């Protein structure tokens, strides 16, 4: 099943729309979280 956002799709970083997991950053900047995930070799 593919994830298709209903609202605020332009605000989301969708890396793999068919993955069964998502990360909610709340107050953290998306870019900062993405950098940390890349350092952990999760992406």
Q: What is the pLDDT of residues 13-28, one digit of tens each?
A: 888 888 888 888 889 9
**Environment class of residue 33 by beta-carbon count within 10 Å: exposed (0-12), middle (13-18) or buried (19+)?**
middle
Q: Is residue 37 a contact partner of residue 23, using CB atoms and an 8 Å limit?
A: yes
Give residue 42's pLDDT. 60
Confidence of residue 32 (pLDDT cuts 50, 70, 90): very high
- Using the 8-state DSSP alphabet, how is residue 22 labeled? -
Please state whether the predicted TM-score (pTM) of the whole model is above 0.75: no
Q: Give residue limits of the domains in the chain.
A: 9-39
Which residues have a Cβ under 8 Å from the Cβ of 34 and sit 6 or more positions away? 13, 43
Under the banding of pLDDT at 50, 70 and 90, the label for residue 7 is very high
């Amino acid at each position: 099943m593919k994830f298709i956002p209903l609202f605020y799709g332009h605000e989301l970083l969708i890396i793999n729309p068919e993955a069964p997991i998502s990360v909610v950053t709340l107050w953290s900047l998306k870019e900062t979280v993405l950098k940390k995930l890349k350092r952990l070799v999760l992406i």
